[in-house]
Chains A and B, each alone.
Chain A
Amino acid sequence: MRILFKTSYNDDIRLFPDRWTLAVYAALLALAVLLPMLLDEFYIGEVTNVLIWAVAGLGLMLLTGQTGQVSLGHAAFLAIGCYTNTILIEAGLPFIVAFPLAGVITGIVGGIIAIPALRLHGIYLAIATIALSILADDIIVLLDPWTGGVSGKFPAVITIFGLEIERWTMPVRFYYLVLVVTMICTLFYRNLLRAPLGRAFAAVRDSEVSATAMGVHIARTKVKAFGLSCMITGWAGTLMGYYAGAFNNETFSLVISITLLMMIVIGGLGSIHGAFFGAVVVAFLPQALSIAKGAMIGGSVAIPGLETGVFGLILILFILFEPMGLYGRWLKIRTWFELFPFARKDMFRRQKSYLKTERLR
């Protein structure tokens, strides 16, 4: 059992609490960098897919896991990021400028949309964001001159200082690009949690009343959370566009929004690890299912809705039996080993709360 003895606030907010953790993450990074030498190009593509979903998950996690605002409309922001990047590059900007700008523009749009949405909370916010997700599809069609409408668009070729990157012909280069973006987003997220703003997010999530009492401006904090969340989501959307190779109004549908929300719940709400665990599940579930189906009833039989059905079932089981998701399960296992033989079952028990109506305030 490791004991962390903290003598100052700086000890408490250190990026890596001890050398062991630092070593683990350094090893993980080294593995990620060396991966293209270990796997062939097909699997590199799959890992890239996982990383892109993880970035999108980080974006939603910041809003839902960290600030406690449920959004079922993040596919709309994926779309804004993707289209903005492509339009900017077509306008002549280099990728290295257009890509960050696409995220920032998405963030600003998200922040503006959040201002009226802030008067809503809980269920109503979820409903408003559903409407947003449905509207996005139709608005993309209406903005035909810029977005290409139903026929869609192809993402512009990436050129960074003369180095060309393309998803299908050079998957390894694309993998490294995605890896760098994932690293930046993760570090950004991690640092945000250590900063006052990140603490304010958590305060808003846990109790708006006590957050106000501590001097947190609720509305402003929520707008910032929305903006930052949409910024990361916009980047993920851009990468998703490149990964798909082509996109139109139906690429970023309500189903993507729902998948994204389910992903972070399965992974574990409120943790960075959760976004990555959830991304692994989302990216590999279709393959695992098709292998299982092939073994059981023969691969040629198509069962429509099988993926979403099984996904829904997994999610129901998670919410019922492991509401903290995969990361929560991992924490429990780790604690059990660390404290052996003193771990008790009740250590992770959540306090029950009794519901009161929102209609009488």
Chain B
Amino acid sequence: MEVLQLLVSGLANGCVYGLIALGFVLIYKATEAVNFAQGDFMMLGAFVTLGLTNAEHMNLPFWVAAPLAILVMAVLGYLLDFFVLRRLFGQSQTAVVILTIALGFVIRFVAGVIWGHEPQTLESPLSIGDINIGGVVLGMADVAVIVVTVLLTLFLYQFFQRTKLGLAMQAASQNQMAAYYMGIPVKRVQGLIWGLSGATAAIAGILFASKGAIDPNAGLLGIKAFAAAVIGGFGSLPGALVGGLIVGVIEPFASRYFAAGYSQIAPYVLLLLVLVFRPNGLFSQVRVKKV
């Protein structure tokens, strides 16, 4: 029973990592760049929702505030691409990596100035009550996280496989020049994907905030989500979810069965092992081109 309880709480945590990892993968899939500020996006999404919902701020009903926050973050993501990242078009990935790290610092600073550094809780209807299934206690928020994550992953997966826009996004990342020749507006497509990842980050933020308190440093969770994305194989949406679940499940088990110093390094050791033995992740997307 104890194992089952650890497993379930690990899965719920893992879904949050998976949600942030989805944001990484979206951007990587469509622009071949890695957004190191994704965790901070999530934090910002959570704070925007908090600012709209909580009684001391705007005091809107949650079900109005949540879609509004998702919209705000989507617009923010699009504008960020429009004003900042589009200028880097055609430059090396390293520049994008460093730029997004810097962006994360700035977002953290701005959030700290606006909402302060004290941990705050979102007044979310999701965070009330527990469910008891045969002795395993599961918070409503955890259930919501798991359900939403699975649905979102399925939706995004279908979006990339089936829709014209999703295919255009994949094409734009595989070969920009060829995509241009095929009439794909590469720059606008990139803007849209940043908007989409902003919306994903907002959803992750709302769910994360429903599970507990948030503060401006919550974005550092992004590093674990990062490990999740790599373990799953960057560029694979189901891989991101599976990677998130693996990291999420390993954590409670490691802290239960390993000594104190060893438990927290478990996700990173796994990350390094995956990188050494399967550098392209468990769900590898790398195909060697035959000449």
Instruction: List the interface of chain A (C-beta within 8 A of B).
Output: 64, 68, 70, 116-117, 119-120, 122-124, 126-128, 130-132, 134-135, 138-139, 141-142, 258, 261-262, 265, 303-306, 308-313, 315-316, 319-320, 323, 350, 352-361
1/0 per position for B2-39, CB-CB distance to A under 8 A? 00000000000000000000000000100110100000
- B136 within 8 Å of A (CB atoms): no
What's the nearest-Cβ distance from chain B to residue A22, in Å?
34
How far is B228's CA from A318's CA once the two chains are assembled, in angstroms?
A: 31
**Which of A70, A134, A306 has most chain B Cβ within 10 Å?**
A134
Distance of A261 from chain B, by nearest CB (Å)? 6
B133 interface hit (Cβ, 8 Å) = no
Number of interface residues of B (CB under 8 A): 58
Q: Is the CB of A316 within 8 A of B286?
A: no
B151 beta carbon closer than 8 Å to chain A: no
Q: Are the CB atoms of A319 and B90 closer together than 8 Å?
A: no
Residues A319 and B288 in contact, CB atoms below 8 Å apart: no
12 more CB-based (< 8 A) A-B contacts, given A70-B94, A319-B98:
A68-B94, A123-B234, A132-B272, A305-B112, A308-B109, A312-B101, A316-B106, A353-B91, A354-B176, A358-B32, A360-B286, A360-B289
Q: Could you say which of A126, A142, A313, A359 contacts B235, with CB atoms under 8 Å apart?
A: A359
B159 within 8 A of A: no
A62 to B78, CA, bound (A): 36
Q: CB distance A312 to B265 under 8 Å?
A: no
For B94, what are the chain A residues with a Cβ–Cβ distance below 8 Å? 64, 68, 70, 122
Q: How far is the CB of B224 from chain A (nearest CB, A)?
A: 10
* Cβ A355 vs Cβ B261 within 8 A: no
Complex contact A127–B226 (CB within 8 A): yes
Which secondary structure characterizes the binding site on chain B?
Answer: helix
Any A CB within 8 A of the CB of B150: no
Known: A119-B276, A319-B99, A320-B84. A308 touches B105 (CB 8 A): yes
State whether A354 touches B84 (Cβ < 8 A): no
Q: Tell whether, in the assembled complex, residue A127 and residue B275 are in contact, meaning their CB atoms are under 8 Å apart.
A: yes
> Quick check: A357 and B105 within 8 Å, CB to CB?
no
Task: Give Cα distance in the complex from A232 to B40, angstroms.
Answer: 33
A268 to B113, CA, bound (A): 31
Measured in the bound complex, the distance between the Cα atoms of B110 and A306 in whole Å is 9
Q: Considering the chains assembled together, what is the distance between the CA atoms of A122 and B279 in angstroms?
A: 12
Residues of B101-152 contacting chain A, CB below 8 A: 101-106, 108-110, 112-113, 117
In the bound complex, how far is the Cα of B90 from the Cα of A312, in angstroms? 22
B87, B101, B216, B275: which contacts A124 (Cβ < 8 A)?
Answer: B275
Closest to A355 in B: B176
Q: In the complex the two chains form, is A357's CB within 8 Å of B112's CB?
A: no
A359 and B275 within 8 A (CB)? no
| Given known A-B contacts A354-B177, A356-B175, A319 and B93 have beta carbons under 8 A apart | no
Do B106 and A312 touch across chains, with their CB atoms under 8 A apart? yes
Nearest 5 CB-CB pairings of A with B: A309-B109, A312-B105, A312-B102, A352-B90, A315-B102
- Can you give 11 A-B contacts (C-beta < 8 A)? A124-B230, A130-B226, A132-B272, A142-B262, A303-B113, A305-B117, A312-B102, A315-B98, A350-B91, A359-B280, A359-B285
A316–B175 contact, CB under 8 A?
Answer: no
Cα distance A132–B273 in the bound complex, in angstroms: 12
A313 contact set on B, CB distance < 8 A: 102, 106
**Interface 1/0 per residue, B33-50 and A, CB below 8 Å:** 010000000000000000
- B64 within 8 Å of A (CB atoms): no
A252 to B289, CA, bound (A): 42
Query: CB within 8 A of A131: which of B101, B177, B227, B261?
Result: B227
| A323-B91 contact in complex given A265-B98, A359-B286, C-beta closer than 8 Å | yes
Contacts of A352 in B (CB 8 A): 89-90
Contact of B289 among A261, A305, A323, A361 (CB under 8 A): A361
Q: Is B174 part of the binding interface, using a Cβ–Cβ cutoff of 8 Å?
A: yes
Within 8 A of A (CB), among B163-217: 173-177, 180, 216
CB-CB < 8 A to B261: which residues of A?
138, 141-142
- Which of B94, B99, B173 has the largest number of chain A CB atoms within 10 A? B94
**B95 beta carbon closer than 8 Å to chain A:** yes
Q: Is B58 an interface residue (CB 8 A)?
A: no
Minimal Cβ-Cβ distance residue in A for B270: A131
Q: Give the distance to chain A from B225, nearest Cβ to Cβ, in Å.
A: 12
A60 to chain B: closest CB distance in Å? 12
In whole angstroms, what is the CA distance A320 to B87 when docked? 7
Minimum CB distance partner of A258 in chain B: B101
Once the chains are docked, how many angstroms separate the CA of A142 from the CA of B261? 6
A361 CB contacts on chain B under 8 angstroms: 286, 288-289
Separation of A350 and B175 alpha carbons in the complex (Å): 20
Are B98's CB and A119's CB within 8 A? no
- Asked if residues B287 and A360 are in contact (CB atoms below 8 Å), the reply is yes
Highest count of chain B CB atoms <10 Å: which of A64, A139, A308, A350: A308
Is B153 part of the contact surface with A, judged by Cβ < 8 Å?
A: no
What does the 1/0 interface line of B220-237 toward A look like (CB < 8 Å)? 000100110010001100
Q: Is B268 an interface residue (CB 8 A)?
A: yes
- Residue in A closest to B109 when the chains form the complex, CB atoms: A309
Bound CA span A352–B226, Å: 29
Question: In angstroms, how far is the closest chain B Cβ from the Cβ of A318?
Answer: 9
Question: What residues of chain A lie closer than 8 Å to B105, measured between beta carbons?
Answer: 305, 308-309, 311-312
